[in-house]
């Protein structure tokens, strides 16, 4: 009997350890969010944070207007490239990709997902910046992020398309529609929820990326709207301001970090909400 009791005790101990592990895993995020909110909120509510340009080092005040616009522009161009191409590759994988080529594309895309984010920056630097095609510019940053976003978009598109029942395709074909119309007008709309979710998730990932922008978009203290010039971004603001010894710039880093977290979270929640609404 005592042996059984020991086994039960071990069982309970393990159950406790498992719960402990989950709590340990969840604690950092709570602490982290707490600090980002506490340290970032005052800076974010400070006048001019959203509307002013950064002040020179040592001059108090200033805002991140240029970085906000920069992030939006860089992500905008990246999405403009990555989403259509990614969706098309997803269509290829789901509708025409049940062969060697499809498997290769799937595998390469999975490996691409695991690449260090800084490698995307080097890639865009070599192809676009070093060759003087565009130089340090928002477009080069967008290109780096677009390649980083592609695997996310194409995989979620493929998954979404595979969930569309085959009867939809057969019904369309039986009505005499050619396959391209069946795909574009029946299959893709039916899977739109998953596709939009994938696009949003890829944007959420790209918004926070810093490493790919370091030697592409490069950063800019001034307002720059021309995508062919160096441009600031929120993530670059956080990175650069964190490493300077000026309190106001560090406060700005926290505020920009909070803004980034908000952007990412809102995008993620939108994606989830969208899925739920579609599934209903």
Partner 1 sequence: MSQATAEPRVRPPLVTTGRQRRWLHGDQLFRGLAVASGVLLLLVSAIFLLALFIPALPSITRFGLPFLWGRDWDAVHLRFGALPFIYGTVVTSAIGMLIAFPVGLGAALFLAEESRLNWIRAPLSFAVELLAGIPSVVIGLWALFILTPIMRDDVEPFLNHLFGFLPFFQPPFSGTSFLTAGIVLAIMVLPILIALSRDVIRAVPRSLQEASLALGATRAETTWSVVLPYARVGITGAVLLALGRALGETIAVTMVIGNTPQITSRLFAQGYTLASVIANEFTEAVGPILQGVLFEIGLVLVLITIVVNVIARLMVWQFTKPEGR
Verify binding: residue 133, partner 1, rule CB under 8 A: no
Can you tell me which of 53, 72, 223, 261 binds partner 1, judged by CB under 8 A? 261
Q: Judge contact between 152 and 201, C-beta under 8 A.
A: yes
Per-position DSSP letters for 40-81, written without gaps between them: HHHHHHSTTTTTSPBPPTT---B--HHHHHHHHHHHHHHHHH
49 makes contact with partner 1 (CB under 8 A): no
56 binds partner 1 (CB under 8 A): no
CA dihedral 93, 95, 101, 102 (to 10 degrees): 30
Stretch that binds partner 1, among 57-65, 66-74, 188-196, 242-250 (CB under 8 A): 242-250
**Cα three-residue angle 113-115-119, rounded to 5 degrees:** 130
Name which position in 37, 223, 242, 275 contacts partner 1 (CB under 8 A). Answer: 242
Q: Which of 167, 138, 129, 17 is nearest to 71 (CA)?
A: 138
CA dist., res. 187 & res. 59, Å (int): 57
24 binds partner 1 (CB under 8 A): yes
Among 66, 197, 202, 235, binds partner 1 (CB under 8 A): 235
Backbone angles phi, psi at 72, to 5 degrees: -60, -45
Considering the complex, what minimum distance in angstroms separates the CB of residue 104 from partner 1? Answer: 7
Sequence-ordered list of residues with C-beta below 8 angstroms from that of 263, at least 6 positions apart, any chain: 71, 204, 207, 234
The nearest distance, CB 34 to partner 1, in angstroms, is 10
In terms of CB distance, is 29 or 280 closer to partner 1? 29
Query: Is 18 near partner 1 (CB under 8 A)?
Result: yes
Which residue has tokens 């970090």?
A: 257
Query: Measuring CA to CA, which residue among 166, 139, 159 is closest to residue 78?
Result: 139
Q: Smallest gap, in angstroms, from Cβ of residue 7 to partner 1?
A: 5
Q: Which of 75, 145, 211, 249 binds partner 1 (CB under 8 A)?
A: 211
User: For partner 1, which residue of 68, 78, 149, 214 counts as binding (CB under 8 A)?
Assistant: 214
Residue 32 touching partner 1 (CB under 8 A): yes
**x-or-dash pattern for partner 1, window 148-187, by CB under 8 A?**
--x---x-------x---x--xx--x--x-xxxx-xx---
Helix (H) or strand (E) holding 200: helix 192-207
Do 62 and 52 contact (CB within 8 A), yes or no? yes
Task: Based on the shown chain and the rule CB under 8 A, indicate whether residue 225 belongs to the binding site for partner 1.
Answer: no
The interface with partner 1 within residues 93-122 (CB under 8 A) comprises 93-98, 101-102, 104-105, 107-112, 114-120, 122
CB nearer partner 1, residue 31 or residue 41: 31
Q: Is 88 among the residues that bind partner 1 (CB under 8 A)?
A: yes
Least distance from C-beta 56 to partner 1, angstroms?
21
């Amino acid at each position: 009997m005592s042996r059984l009791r020991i086994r039960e005790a071990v069982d309970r101990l393990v159950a406790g350890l498992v719960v402990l592990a989950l709590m340990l895993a969840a604690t950092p995020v709570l602490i982290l969010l707490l600090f980002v909110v506490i340290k970032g909120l005052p800076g974010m509510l400070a006048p001019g944070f959203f509307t002013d340009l950064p002040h020179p080092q040592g001059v108090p005040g200033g805002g991140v207007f240029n970085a906000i616009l920069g992030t939006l522009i860089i992500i905008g161009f990246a999405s403009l490239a990555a989403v259509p191409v990614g969706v098309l590759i997803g269509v290829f994988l789901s509708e025409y990709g049940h062969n060697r080529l499809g498997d290769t594309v799937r595998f390469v895309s999975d490996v691409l997902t695991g690449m260090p984010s800084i490698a995307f920056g080097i890639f865009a630097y070599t192809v676009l910046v070093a060759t003087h095609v565009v130089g340090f510019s928002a477009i080069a940053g967008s290109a780096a992020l677009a390649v980083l976003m592609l695997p996310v978009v194409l995989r979620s598109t493929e998954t979404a398309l595979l969930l569309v029942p085959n009867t939809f395709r057969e019904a369309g074909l039986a009505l005499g529609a050619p396959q391209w119309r069946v795909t574009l007008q029946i299959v893709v709309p039916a899977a739109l929820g998953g596709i939009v979710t994938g696009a949003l998730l890829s944007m959420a990932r790209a918004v926070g990326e810093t490493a790919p922008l370091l030697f592409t978009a490069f950063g800019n203290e001034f307002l720059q709207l021309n995508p062919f010039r160096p441009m600031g971004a929120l993530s670059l603001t956080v990175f650069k301001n964190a490493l300077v010894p000026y309190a106001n710039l560090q406060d700005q880093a926290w505020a920009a970090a909070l803004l980034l977290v908000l952007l990412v979270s809102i995008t993620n929640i939108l994606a989830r909400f969208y899925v739920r609404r579609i599934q209903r």
